[in-house]
Structure 1
Amino acid sequence: MSKLITPGEVAPDFELEDVQGNPIRLSDFRGKPVLLSFLRGFT
């Protein structure tokens, strides 16, 4: 499921775990600036 997000559009919510295993949802940061960086491993 891929969708192009345009500036000003609300991104779909998703959940990931932090380094301590705690869940973090994108919606937890709604109304705040968020920078997402996805790194790809080379194995």
Structure 2
Amino acid sequence: MVEQAIAHLHQFKRLAVRWDRHLFMHQGFTKLAASLICWRRLTHIS
């Protein structure tokens, strides 16, 4: 399950290759990507 979640996050190129210098920027984009993944799954099921 964890490997699948990481694979989903790597669909976003900015997270696969870390371009940001600051950790808070990377964490913000990680949270945004996770939110988008969850939203897509929830709207796809309904």
* TM-score, normalised via structure 1 length: 0.24
Structure with the larger helix share: 2
Structure with the larger strand share: 1
* TM-score, normalised via structure 2 length: 0.24
Which of the pair has the greater relative contact order for Cα pairs under 8 Å at 6+ separation?
Answer: 2
